[in-house]
């Protein structure tokens, strides 16, 4: 047990029990899994990924390259750092041998998202961050302060003095001042993991309580202050991966934060001053300590402090290796590899400023030879880097830099500069650079030998910096060693790119609320509940839920659709067509605009009449189709396909606003204002006539492709004789407020005629039997109106309209273009799968050896009640010339013979549309 | 997530906007008078400069107005945002 | 045959759920269905005098500044764009409202189209109203940035909405009816972040 009385900020009055690798350990609130394991001398934790070498805890926070655990309870999580897991009762974990594993149970936790706006975001609540936040708050600004650790204060241990008082009191004072300010939001356990354009920072909050487990804050800040501190850098030597080798700052952290002494017999190997404070503190807590300083000169002040304590300090001394099995037992010192016994080997090779958030937004780094590290080289607008993140490593300097006029005060410390030491002499194949990847100096040498000259290439060749820690301790060291091997200065090489996220973020946290039913909006029509009550099966059409068919007990889709089709062809059916896009086109130039957008002439349409229209892009390919009602000289109602409602409106607005602003036309979407029901079938006139008794629905008074306004109980209703089935049909449009009531009224009136609600699948069959294409199903953006047999809808009178010029391009004149035709399987039984390829049918009826020339593909395929057989629509090269020809369609390894025919299979004379 | 300054609504997240490609590519006055190559150039070809580029953007999820913006394709920074298309009205 | 054709609120099926939630979360949060009101989309060139003519008919001033709204005797006038307003009336029938505004506007080259059933209103009220909306809306909703009198067309989650500020704790959400169910589900889900009691403000 290495828990030291009088140290640490854990709550010793309470005990927490956790299980690691089957053993129960007790700790206290405030402990991490790492500190509990160290307190019980329980290591190593697992084995390395490639060589199976033992792995222990190497650092006290997110920079640890080795101390990975798999969390089993309360919720399975793979490959989490023991140093970042706050313990809770019942926590179960185990060390990771090689790789972790993904959970095989669903994550039941909730993840929240918040958009936050502020004047100043401060990242890091160490001395610099707290001071910067206080300064901004005192300026009256909206401040957000985030810090990734459980408590504020950063690296302050409590031994420092700020403004003449213990540093922890300074922290408490600032935190209290910020808490009292309503314009300040202060979040601990919140990692700013990505920095993006225009002051956007994403931060992940690990929540202790509340409905959600984690919360992603999308913080938009006018100014971002990065006070993220610095990460200590190791020195690479032989067998530096052995458990018990640790960053010097980490041992100090475990002592002051958790009251845990990570070793009793300690060797500190350093090339900078900061490790001395670890040596002194660990000595004072009861460890036997000796310091090996790689530098020729030992800093005076630290030499004195060590001498006072009897800590032996050797200058100009380097560790070349270690001994031990599962844990370090001795350091091998100097070229002679003298054995110095120890159970903890602390290493410090200087500090790398935590510049991740600075570089995410394009901040440039430069090598600072005095600092021996990369730091921000040029300012970024809206971004400020203060404290250790900017390379200001001393406390007095941090406070001064962050504090402005009323900066807190700390004593200056004067020491010796850091010596840049990437590695000591030894066997490169056992000098580990990235401990998680088992990547060594020998791997870097191989990369350089293979011709790699850029650190980005070395990274990809060696995998250094690609593990969970993203090279927080290994990245710059790898640059340094590469530079040495190449004989070039490190400033020429730079660092690899730091990319978000700074620490791993669960996909679930990024998804937030957009999971399950909320993943994508579900759009429903005004009578959705009527469909549900009628037992509809729904299909997704874009974001809409549309009733696909209404199976009765015992019916599958095929049976239901055949029944619904028969009802429309012989009696009456009703369809909810409310998802169709609807655009009100108003203004003196409305007809001019539509003439330019549609292939047909719309200006000649008479008020009271309806015309089917086709829209093409400039490339002459069909973009959308629909009906156009002329409501007045200066007013049209345009319908679009369901999926194209927004794109068509956008398309029309684009031309109107950017190309033809002189046209006096305005466009309004009324897609959801109006609900539309299609009442179709030979008995539809009876039903409509019964509901709208005042209206003459006879063919003479109300002809095909005309519309009439009426009212029902004072509510305006518009009817139109439009048919998408070839049958006598009426489209009934009403304000969506009244849609449920009107639907009920039509169903009620249709009951004597056996009115049958039908869905989109039935609608598709009925229109396909008539050869009406569905844009987006029978077309794919490479199909012209002529290819679809819609040449009749292309005006020859208009001088121009969108797409017209492209019709004359040679590509569009090609006689072998794919054309829409019908396909009837010769066996009258096989339903050809949609998307099937079409090929020549050889004499032997078998598929020839590849390559097999493709003639086209099946676009729509159904069983037909009217034809009593399956049929299909297909795009076939030169299809209309091939009518009568029998082709082959590979279906499940067999070649099915099918005859090409005209697209109109039911009622080619059009005798049924008038009833 | 960049902010784009809609001339009418002010700065909004880029998610609210849709891109309309190169600006100032006028619909030809007489398409029928163009050769196939000239027409194809209008339909299919656009500039792709490295540096400032005049583009059309629409504030689709906001006021639905189109406007012209100059964006530096190297940095994605919006250099300037022009007035609304087809409207004399300014805020 | 049947009785009079009756109007139905697009969120009728959610009414009980929202009432229960509002009762449980008061005064932190309330989600309430707005009444069905007549609404037109007015398009008129602001320089044409059409706006003045419409003001005469609707009995109140049209907002002059972008993204703002003004109160009308029985409704609201919301500025949606340079030449576009949404005008509502709780007193008029939709077809009458359309006719009246349209008549005034057309004389000046403008027009009005009935969109009463194209939009659904949901009220978001309570001390956490803005915080709730900030779970899905990227706009700066701090009261200083989005004070009473402002409105904005933007996104809530993945739905296009018109957000209207009536007060610090009182916001109006206007959404297409087909998206209204999604928006309610989204907000009800987000409301679970606000416990019935001892709620404290967590973000600005």
Residue C200 pLDDT class (50, 70, 90 cuts): very low
Full DSSP string of B41-57: HHHH-----SSEEEEEE
Do C177 and A217 make contact, defined as CB atoms within 8 angstroms?
Answer: no
Taking CA atoms, C95 is separated from A235, C101, C102, in Å, by 80, 10, 10
Residues C124 and C90 in one domain: no
Q: Exposed e or buried b for every residue in A475-504, given b needs 16+ CB within 10 A?
A: bbbbbbbbbbbeeeebeebbbbebebbbbb
Q: Indicate the residue among C91, C117, C143 that finishes a domain.
A: C117
Over range A303-318, report the average pLDDT.
97
Cβ burial, residue B46 (10 Å; 0-12/13-18/19+) = exposed
In this predicted model, what pLDDT tens digit does every residue of A735-761 receive, in sequence order? Answer: 999 999 999 999 999 999 999 999 999
pLDDT in tens, A487-504: 999 999 999 999 999 999
Identify which of C41, C142, C193 has the shortest CB distance to residue A210: C193
Share of chain A above pLDDT 70, in %: 100
pLDDT at A402 (0 to 100): 96
Give the closest residue to A594 by CA, choosing from A578, A580, A609, A611: A611
Cis geometry, peptide bond prior to residue A183 (ω within 30 degrees of 0) = no
Domains of chain A: 16-104+234-348 (3.50.50.60), 111-231+353-406 (3.50.50.60), 421-493 (1.10.10), 528-578+673-767 (3.30.1360.120), 581-669 (3.30.70.1400), 816-915 (2.40.30.110)
Binary contact (A584, C8; C-beta < 8 A): no
Band (C3; pLDDT cuts 50, 70, 90): low
B42 is a domain residue:
no
Taking an 8 Å cut-off on Cβ atoms, the answer to whether A522 and C182 are in contact is yes
Tell me, what CATH number does B19's domain have? 3.30.2270.10
Residue C150 inside a domain? The answer is yes
Chain A closest-CA separation from residue B50 CA (Å): 18
Q: Provide the whole-model pTM.
A: 0.94
What is the domain count for chain C? 2
Report helix, strand or coil for A451: coil
In a domain, B40, yes or no: no
Per CB-CB distance under 8 Å, the chain A contacts of B43 are 618-619, 806
Range of the domain at B70: 1-26+47-91
| CATH number of the structural domain spanning residue C79 | 3.30.70.1520
3-state secondary structure at position A506: coil
Closest CA to B59 of B91, B31, B84, B36: B84
Mean residue pLDDT across chain C: 94
Would residue C164 count as lying in a domain? yes
Does C109 map to a domain? Answer: yes
What burial letters (b/e) apply to A86-101, b meaning 16+ CB within 10 Å? Answer: bbeeebbbbbbeeebe
Same domain, residue pair C42 and C113: yes
**Residue C204 pLDDT class (50, 70, 90 cuts):** very low
Q: Quick check: C203 pLDDT over 80? A: no
Written as one string, the DSSP assignment of C102-142 is: HHHHHTTT-EEEE-GGG-EEEEEESTTHHHHHTTT--S---
What is the CA angle C61-C62-C64, rounded to 5? 115
Summarize pLDDT for C29-78 with one digit per residue, the tens: 999 999 999 999 999 998 889 999 999 999 999 999 999 999 999 999 99
Q: Is C143 on the interface with A (CB under 8 A)?
A: no
Interchain contact C67–B (C-beta under 8 A): yes
**Closest residue to B2, CB basis, from A197, A650, A659:** A197
Q: How far is C56 from chain A (nearest CA, A)?
A: 22
Interface test with A, best of C36, C111, C168 (most A CBs within 10 A): C111
Supply the range of the domain harboring residue C82. 38-117
Does B7 fall in a domain? yes
pLDDT tens digits, A689-743: 999 999 999 999 999 999 999 999 999 999 999 999 999 999 999 999 999 999 9
The pLDDT assigned to A1 comes to: 63
Minimum CA–CA partner of C36 in chain A? A737
Q: Which residue is closest to A522 within chain C, CA to CA?
A: C182
Q: Is B15 on the interface with C (CB under 8 A)?
A: yes
What pLDDT does residue A666 have?
Answer: 96
pLDDT, tens digit (0-9, with 9 covering 90-100), for A393-450:
999 999 999 998 889 999 998 889 999 999 999 999 999 999 999 999 999 999 999 9
Looking at C94, C117, C140, which one is the last position of a domain? C117
B73: in domain: yes
Residue from A699, A546, A541, A722 nearest A627 by CA:
A722
Average confidence (pLDDT) over A550-563:
97
Residue B39 placed within a domain: no
Among A142-151, B52-61, C3-12, which is the least confidently predicted range? C3-12
The reply to whether C103 and C174 lie within a common domain is: no
Show the tokens assigned to A773. Answer: 């294409």
The answer, yes or no, to whether residue A676 has pLDDT greater than 80, is yes
Contact B89 C47 (CB under 8 A): yes
Residue A627 and residue A650: Cα distance in Å, rounded?
18
The mean pLDDT of B62-69, rounded to a whole number, is 95
- What is the percentage of chain C residues whose pLDDT exceeds 70? 95
Does residue C112 share a domain with residue C43? Answer: yes
- DSSP symbol at B35: -
Asked if residues A807 and A784 have their Cβ atoms less than 8 Å apart, the reply is: yes
Q: Is residue C42 domain-shared with residue C109, that is, in the same domain?
A: yes
% of chain A exceeding 90 in pLDDT: 94
pLDDT of residue A106: 85
Q: Which residues of C touch B6 (CB under 8 A)?
A: none
Q: Select from A218, A658, A805 the Cβ nearest to the Cβ of B32.
A: A805
What is the rounded CA–CA span in Å between residue A739 and residue A743?
6
* Residue B35, in any domain of the structure: no
Calculate how close chain B gets to A388, using CA atoms only, in Å. 28
Does residue C50 share a domain with residue C102? yes
C89 and C18 fall within a common domain: no
| pLDDT in the model for residue A847 | 86
Q: What pLDDT shows up at residue C196?
A: 79
Would you list the DSSP string of A93-129? EEE-BSS----SS-----EEEEEEEEEEEEE--SHHH
Q: Does B16 touch chain C (CB under 8 A)?
A: yes
Residues C61 and C108 in one domain: yes
Final residue in a domain of this structure, among C68, C101, C117: C117
CB–CB contact A523 C179 (8 Å): yes
CB contacts, 8 Å: A619 with chain B? 43-44
Of B2, B36, B87, the CB nearest to A198: B2
For B83, nearest residue in chain C (alpha carbons): C82
Neighbours of chain A (3+ CB pairs under 8 A): B, C
Q: Is the ipTM of this complex over 0.85?
A: yes
- Determine, yes or no, domain membership for B41: no
Q: What is the pLDDT of residues A237-249, one digit of tens each?
A: 999 999 999 999 9
Residues of A in contact with C1 (CB under 8 A): 745, 748-749
Q: Which residues of B touch A810 (CB under 8 A)?
A: 36
Same domain, C125 and C171: yes
Same domain (yes/no): C50, C30? no
> The CATH number of the domain where C165 resides is what?
3.30.1360.120
Residue C75 forms contact with A (CB below 8 Å): no
C79 pLDDT above the threshold of 50: yes
Contact A619 B65 (CB under 8 A): no
Q: Take residue A372 and report the two structure tokens written for it.
A: 């021996």
Do residues A71 and A80 lie in contact, with contact meaning Cβ atoms separated by under 8 Å? Answer: yes
Same domain for C67 and C57: yes
Q: Report whether pLDDT(C2) > 80.
A: no
- pLDDT tens-digit map of A273-291: 999 999 999 999 999 999 9
Higher pLDDT, A678 or A77: A678
State whether C135 and A220 contact (CB < 8 Å): no
Has residue C8 been placed in a domain?
no
Q: Is residue B79 part of a domain?
A: yes
pLDDT for res B85: 61
SS3 A695: coil
DSSP E strand boundaries for A335-400: 338-341, 344-348, 351-353, 365-368, 373-376, 383-385
Alpha carbon of C187: minimum distance to chain B alpha carbons (Å): 20
Report the domain count for chain B. 1
Closest residue on chain B to C157 (Cα): B15
Is the omega angle on the peptide bond into residue A501 within 30 degrees of 0, that is, cis?
yes
**Residues of B whose CB is below 8 A from A198:** 1-3, 11
């Amino acid at each position: 047990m290495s828990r030291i009385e009088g140290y640490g900020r854990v709550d010793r009055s309470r005990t927490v029990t956790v299980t690691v690798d089957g053993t129960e350990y007790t700790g206290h609130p405030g402990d991490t899994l790492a500190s509990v394991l160290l307190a019980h001398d329980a290591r190593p934790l697992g084995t390395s990924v490639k060589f199976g070498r033992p792995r222990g805890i190497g650092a006290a926070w997110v920079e640890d390259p080795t101390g990975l655990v798999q969390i089993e309870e309360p919720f399975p999580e793979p490959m989490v750092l023991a140093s970042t897991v706050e313990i809770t009762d019942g926590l179960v974990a185990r060390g990771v041998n090689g790789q972790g594993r993904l959970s095989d149970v669903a994550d039941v936790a909730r993840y929240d998202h918040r958009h936050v706006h502020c004047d100043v975001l401060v990242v890091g609540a160490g001395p610099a961050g707290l001071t910067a936040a206080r300064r901004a708050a005192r300026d009256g600004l909206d401040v957000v302060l985030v810090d990734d650790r459980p408590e504020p204060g950063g690296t302050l241990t409590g031994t420092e003095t700020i403004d003449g008082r213990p540093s922890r009191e300074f922290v408490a004072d600032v935190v209290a001042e910020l808490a009292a300010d309503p314009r300040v939001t202060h979040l601990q356990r919140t990692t700013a993991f990505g920095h993006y354009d225009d002051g956007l920072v994403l931060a992940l909050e690990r929540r202790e309580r509340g409905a959600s487990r984690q919360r992603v804050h999308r913080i938009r800040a006018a100014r971002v202050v990065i006070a993220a501190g610095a990460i200590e850098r190791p020195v690479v030597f032989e067998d530096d991966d052995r458990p018990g080798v640790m960053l010097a700052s980490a041992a100090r952290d475990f002592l002051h934060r958790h009251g845990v002494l990570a070793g009793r017999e300690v060797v500190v190997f350093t090339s900078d001053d900061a490790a001395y404070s670890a040596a002194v503190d660990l000595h004072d807590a009861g460890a036997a300590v000796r310091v090996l300083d790689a530098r020729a000169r030992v800093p005076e002040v630290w030499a004195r402090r060590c001498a006072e304590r009897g800590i032996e300090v050797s200058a100009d001394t380097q560790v070349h290796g270690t001994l031990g099995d599962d844990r370090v037992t001795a350091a091998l010192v100097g070229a002679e590899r003298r054995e110095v016994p120890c159970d903890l080997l602390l290493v410090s090779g200087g500090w790398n400023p935590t510049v991740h958030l600075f570089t995410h937004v394009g901040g440039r780094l430069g090598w600072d030879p005095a600092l021996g590290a990369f730091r921000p080289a040029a300012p970024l607008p809206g971004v400020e880097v203060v404290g250790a993140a900017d390379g200001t490593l001393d406390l007095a300097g941090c406070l001064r830099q962050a504090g402005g006029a009323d900066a807190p005060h700390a004593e200056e410390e004067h020491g010796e500069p850091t010596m840049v030491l990437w590695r000591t002499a030894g066997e490169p194949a056992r000098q580990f650079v990235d401990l998680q990847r088992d990547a060594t100096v020998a791997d870097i040498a191989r990369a350089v030998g293979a011709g790699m000259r850029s650190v980005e290439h070395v990274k990809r060749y060696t995998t250094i910096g690609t593990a969970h820690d993203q090279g927080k301790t290994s990245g710059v060291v790898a640059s340094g060693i590469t530079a040495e091997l190449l004989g070039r200065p490190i400033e020429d090489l730079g660092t690899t790119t730091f990319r978000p996220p700074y620490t791993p973020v669960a996909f679930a946290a990024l998804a937030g609320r957009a999971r399950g039913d909320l993943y994508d909006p579900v759009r429903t029509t005004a009578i959705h509940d009527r469909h549900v009550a009628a037992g509809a099966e729904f299909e997704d059409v874009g974001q809409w839920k549309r009733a696909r068919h209404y199976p009765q007990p015992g019916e599958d889709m095929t049976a239901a659709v055949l029944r619904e089709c028969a009802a429309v062809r012989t009696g009456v059916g009703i369809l909810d067509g409310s998802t169709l896009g609807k655009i009100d086109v108003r203004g003196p130039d409305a007809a001019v605009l539509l003439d330019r957008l549609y292939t047909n002439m719309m200006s000649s349409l008479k008020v009271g009449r309806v015309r089917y229209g086709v829209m093409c892009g400039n490339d002459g390919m069909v973009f959308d189709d629909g009906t156009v009602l002329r409501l007045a000289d200066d007013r049209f109602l345009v319908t679009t396909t369901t999926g194209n409602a927004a794109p068509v409106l956008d398309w029309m607005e684009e031309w109107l606003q950017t190309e033809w602003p002189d046209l006096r036309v305005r466009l309004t979407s009324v897609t959801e204002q109006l609900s539309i029901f299609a009442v179709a079938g030979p008995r539809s006139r009876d039903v409509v006539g019964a509901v709208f008794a005042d209206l003459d629905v006879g063919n003479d008074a109300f002809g095909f492709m005309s519309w009439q306004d009426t009212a029902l109980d004072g509510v305006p209703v518009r009817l139109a004789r439009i048919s998408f089935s070839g049958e006598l049909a009426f489209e009934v449009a009403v304000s969506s407020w009244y849609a449920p009531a009107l639907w009920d009224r039509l169903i009620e009136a249709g009951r004597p005629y056996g009115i049958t609600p039908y869905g989109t699948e039935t609608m598709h069959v009925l229109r396909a039997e008539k050869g009406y294409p569905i844009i987006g199903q029978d077309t794919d953006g490479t199909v012209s109106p002529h290819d679809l047999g819609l040449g009749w809808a292309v005006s020859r009178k208009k001088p121009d309209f969108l797409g017209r010029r492209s019709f004359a391009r040679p590509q569009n004149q090609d006689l072998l273009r794919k054309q829409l035709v019908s396909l009837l399987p010769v066996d009258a039984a096989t339903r050809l799968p949609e998307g099937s390829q079409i090929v020549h049918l050889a004499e032997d009826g078998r598929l020839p050896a590849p390559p097999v020339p493709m003639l086209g593909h099946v676009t729509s395929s159904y069983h037909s009640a009217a034809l009593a057989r399956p049929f299909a629509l297909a795009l076939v090269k030169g299809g209309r010339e091939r009518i009568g020809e029998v082709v082959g369609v590979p279906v499940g390894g067999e070649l099915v013979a099918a005859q090409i025919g005209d697209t109109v299979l039911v009622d080619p004379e059009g005798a049924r549309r008038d009833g | 997530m960049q902010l784009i300054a809609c001339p009418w609504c002010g700065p909004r997240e880029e998610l609210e906007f849709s891109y309309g490609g190169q600006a100032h590519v006028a619909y030809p006055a007489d398409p029928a008078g163009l050769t196939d190559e000239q027409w194809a150039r209008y339909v299919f070809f656009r500039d792709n400069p490295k540096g400032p580029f005049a583009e059309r953007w629409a504030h689709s999820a906001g006021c639905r107005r189109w406007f012209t913006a100059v964006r530096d394709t190297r940095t994605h920074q919006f250099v300037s945002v022009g007035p609304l298309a087809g409207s004399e009205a300014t805020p | 045959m049947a009785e009079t054709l009756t109007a139905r609120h697009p969120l009728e099926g959610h009414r009980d759920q929202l009432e229960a939630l509002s009762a449980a979360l008061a005064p932190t949060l309330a989600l309430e269905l707005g009444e069905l009101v007549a609404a037109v989309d007015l398009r008129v060139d602001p320089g044409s005098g059409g706006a003045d003519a419409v003001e005469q008919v609707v009995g109140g001033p049209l907002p002059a500044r972008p993204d703002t709204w003004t109160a009308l005797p029985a409704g609201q006038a919301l500025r949606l764009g340079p030449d576009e307003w949404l005008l509502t009336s709780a007193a008029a029938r939709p077809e009458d409202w359309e006719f009246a505004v349209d008549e005034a506007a057309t004389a000046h080259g403008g027009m009005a189209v009935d969109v009463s059933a194209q939009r659904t209103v949901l009220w978001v009220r309570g001390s956490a109203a803005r915080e709730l909306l900030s779970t899905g809306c990227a706009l700066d909703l701090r009261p200083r940035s989005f004070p009473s009198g402002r409105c904005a067309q933007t996104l809530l989650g993945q739905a296009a909405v018109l957000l209207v500020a009536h007060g610090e704790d009182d916001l109006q959400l206007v959404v297409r009816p087909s998206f209204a169910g999604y928006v309610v589900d989204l907000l009800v889900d987000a409301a679970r972040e606000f416990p019935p009691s001892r709620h404290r403000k967590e973000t600005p």
